[in-house]
Structure 1
């Protein structure tokens, strides 16, 4: 097996050097362990944001848009500043002219996805929210099929179905334990969740596209900048009266800080996982957040750990394993055939980066 350097990339003369042959071989690689652990860390960040949102809701402080505002502001301050430093003001301005409208669209969809999902919990039942939230996965699969021309092996489809089966066990568990919450307007709430989950799916797919072709600091800087603008305008229009009635105290400040730190970690880690895997795997990983949320809830809110929750978690992880059961590429979905091995950015988590750096799992 030989290799040579072409256009700054290591090219491998034999496909065997970057492929695995036996079923389930990929799940025993360090790479799979890395994306599995990262996915669960991001799932825990979802739990953290939901927990702080619940603590805020328990105070009757209904400010879903405002509580996300600081996250966008911090993303803008950190990553836009980094973009200007690395790119220079002239190149950064040119990027705004050329691609700014695309990032604005991404930020707008992201803000509205957060808004409609949070609002849906106020109007419909918990079981409806849990079921309809799975539409994000369906949206991601369909968009990846249509725009990225991704074709899924039957084992990947089976893995997705098993993960959704885990979600079904979760819903059944909540039904049997009477955890479901009443809804003020079920039709309105269901429509909000359908819209929000679909927007989440759109955001995930196009964020995968953007971070595969551009530096993370550029994408997150633009997402934060335009997200802060859209979010700020929406707060002024929709939540001005609620802000006047908020009880501003130490607990309120602590909950907001905790929420936004969790959101910052989530937003910063997501692009790396999207590069290393895909928007589909990212969403499958987040299905475990309900199990982790219950574990946290047993300590904070007095929830009981029903046995079906454990089955649900096992099915989700089992589905993730099945998703990569016959994966032959040593770097899983990082290569992204729709992008091309010589296209896209060289950065953390990208396939081009792992070819530039000597990898002991790739024989060259």
Structure 2
């Protein structure tokens, strides 16, 4: 009996401790610490990327529906040429270890594979529209998020907390609401000639995008944004040119060129160029997973534009979907994802010079903050344990007193 009572007492004590810790966390919650300027900047820049993707989608749809132009490789080539002209030229003008010759000597084959992955990811998702429906593309394209989380965990050693998985689930619910609105409004467009092939292309594209974005996050945070964009621009230009000549020479020959077609091609190329240029900045602020969660709203922006440009039917679920995705995105970024500190000796600034001092100071400050947090938590846990021991001793002494009293009563 005494053993059962002690077990029940310990169980009640642990439950009280957990509930007290939970209440303490609620009391310590400070909205100013969560909704910071950093979070607002990340949200604004992420939605800016979504608007740029919306621009590429609208211009591509105009080219396909009004001018019967389906040349995804030619459109992507314009973006890669702009990247090459800007960032590869910057690498050529660098001196020292950041020079393009030094980069090519050390890791040319890595950027060759990365350029191939990026080109095929763009091509596969556009090609999928010829075989499957818009709904399938929207749903399966979200596969990039779990791929990113798995790859980030394995290679970047990112540690996700339960709140991050909940936030991703909320964002996917928002995508489900968007797809439901498409079905209710009869906007399930696309071909059904080979659904299995089309869905496979979407999944392949999502996996390739995941690989590309993880490599981009690693390069941007450990090397330099200019190096990533310059090398991808260089190798992707060569790869996409070869692939365009092989696969799209007949389609390009049949294009009826006009100033409208040229303007749409230019708008698509500029939107893609801006997207590639600004995405590393957002990744440096957050992560590749966060960037892709923010870009889930791109389809909604395209739908809003389509209401005015292509006479789409409006549904209230579109607004619900936008709000739900934004809630999930804010929740994901409100709690940081701890990552192992990178060695400052390998960090190169945008100008090509090493920034060891700044990186070292940042690392020292982060370590000091983490030590302070750890010591505060340990002190709090010691106080809680001390209080638990005092309570337990008081209960034990009370039991002894009760037993003595019982013994006296029986003798009397």
Shorter chain as denominator, the TM-score bin is: 0.7 to 0.9
Is 1:170–1:312's contact at 8 Å kept on the other side of the alignment?
Answer: yes
Q: Which has the higher contact order (CA 8 A, sep 6+)?
A: 1
Aligned to 1:86: 94
Gap regions ≥5 residues in structure 1 = 1-20
Q: Distance in 2 between matches of 1:291 and 1:47?
A: 8
Residue of structure 2 aligned with 1:180, choices 188, 199, 204: 188
- What secondary structure, in the 3-state scheme, does the structure 2 residue paired with 1:134 have? helix
State the alpha-carbon separation in 2 of the partners of residues 304 and 106 from structure 1. Answer: 40
Kept in 2, the 8 Å contact 1:24–1:324? The answer is no
Aligned length: 332
CA–CA separation in structure 2 for the residues paired with 1:178 and 1:278: 35
C-alpha offsets along residues 72-128 of structure 1, whole Å, 9 cap, x if unaligned? 011001101111112369942121010111111111100000000001011100110
Structure 1 residue 344, shift from structure 2 partner: 3.0
**Which position in structure 2 is the counterpart of 1:144?**
152
> For the structure 1 residues 86 and 336, does the alpha-carbon distance in structure 2 shift closer, same or farther, using more than 3 Å as the test?
farther
In the alignment, which residue of structure 1 is the partner of 2:170?
A: 162
Q: Which one of the candidate residues 344, 349, 354 is aligned to 2:347?
A: 344
TM-score, length-normalised on structure 1? 0.85
Distance in 2 (alpha carbons) for counterparts of 1:90 and 1:305: 51
* Equivalent of 1:238 in 247, 250, 257: 247
What is the match of residue 108 of structure 1? 116
The answer (yes or no) to whether the contact 2:145–2:292 under 8 Å persists in 1 is: yes
Q: Deviations over 1:199-242 (max 9, x none)?
A: 11111111101111222111101110000000000001100111
Aligned to 1:36: 43
Q: 1:354, 1:248 → 2: CA distance?
A: 55
Give the structure-2-normalised TM-score. Answer: 0.76
Provide Cα deviations, 1:36-89, integer angstroms capped at 9, x if missing partner: 100000010000001111111112111111111011011001101111112369
Equivalences for 1:216-255 in 2 at 5 Å?
216-255=225-264
Displacement of 1:298: 1.4
Shift of 1:176: 1.3
As a proportion of its length, which structure holds more helix? 2
Asked if 1:56 is matched to 2:63, the reply is yes
Separation (CA, whole Å) in 2 of partners of 1:279 and 1:78: 23
Alignment of 1:1-364 (within 5 A): 22=29, 25-58=32-65, 59-87=67-95, 91-181=99-189, 182-325=191-334, 327=335, 332=336, 336-337=339-340, 339=342, 344-346=347-349
